[in-house]
Amino acid sequence: MDWRESVVLVTGGTGSFGQKFTQVLLRDHQPRKLIIFSRDELKQHEMRAAGLNHSCLRYFIGDIRDGDRLRRAMHGVDIVVHAAALKRVSACEYNPGEAVKTNVEGARNIVEAAIDCGVEKVLAISSDKAVNPVNLYGATKLCAEKLFIQGNAYSGAEGTRFSCTRYGNVVGSRGSVTTKFKRQRKTGKVTVTDKRMTRFWLTLERGVKFVVNCIEQMHGGEVFVPRIPSMKVMDLAEAIVPGCEIEYIGIRPGERLHEAMISVDEARHTVLAKDRYIIFPEFPWWTTDRWDDGESLPEGFEYTSDKNDQWLSLDELRKMAEED
């Protein structure tokens, strides 16, 4: 595919991912047009003021809950990247109906609008919390994944192709623990939920580049999971706030000690292909195509942050935190 000839729309375009995606796409790929779709006019203004005001950019106010507005925005669009979501775990628990309206019904609206408008490819950004979910946010993201993957069946063999990506914590995204540690560092005391906690970890730049590559490679129906390193929360604290007093506050409701990005059950229809795992759909009614490369995973495999074969050192964590 040629990005220079493509019209791209990103939902949630004013969020952490959306802004970095915009920067990377303008810098490396020069799309014919890039539409920033979001509901916050102030954040759109702030993006322009920060220098994201290229001639190919279009700032489009709208809500993914509004199917008609999505259809208007997707007219003539080739590629959609779906990053809009309500993602605060506690906010979703307290406002479950709102979480469902945005994360589930919004996903359905995108599927239907993309098919109606003849969009070529749609890639949705999912979450590790969709794996065996323990909170409502994770449940809505799992439901959204199912909607996108089976959207291929509605579009048919030659229609819109839908896939997802799924990854863990992103350095520097809104709500990142690195931001919290840096803020607390000024007081000389930081809070840690549990000293045993581990997390997958990647930079926003790498996450965006992974998404771009998945769009280029997708056939439709895959959930792409990057092979990324893990880190221990105590190592992160040592890297960012050495010498600070640590207060253990206990694991929060809806939180896990360790992240999971591929479950044991999913591993049976997953392959390892170089720098990523590819989860294939269990019900691929729309196609018989399969990826030619990739090796099957061993029986009982699961991809969790505590059983990872890649770990970040203190020096690597310090470097990533400095770049944030």
> Is position 20 annotated as part of the catalytic site?
no
Q: How many whole angstroms separate alpha carbon 8 and alpha carbon 15? A: 16
Which residue out of 87, 121, 129, 141 is catalytically annotated? Answer: 129
> Which are the contacts of 76, defined by CB distance < 8 A and separation ≥ 6?
7, 117
Return the residue matching tokens 């049976």: 268
∠ Cα 287 271 151 (to 5°):
35
Active site residues: 129
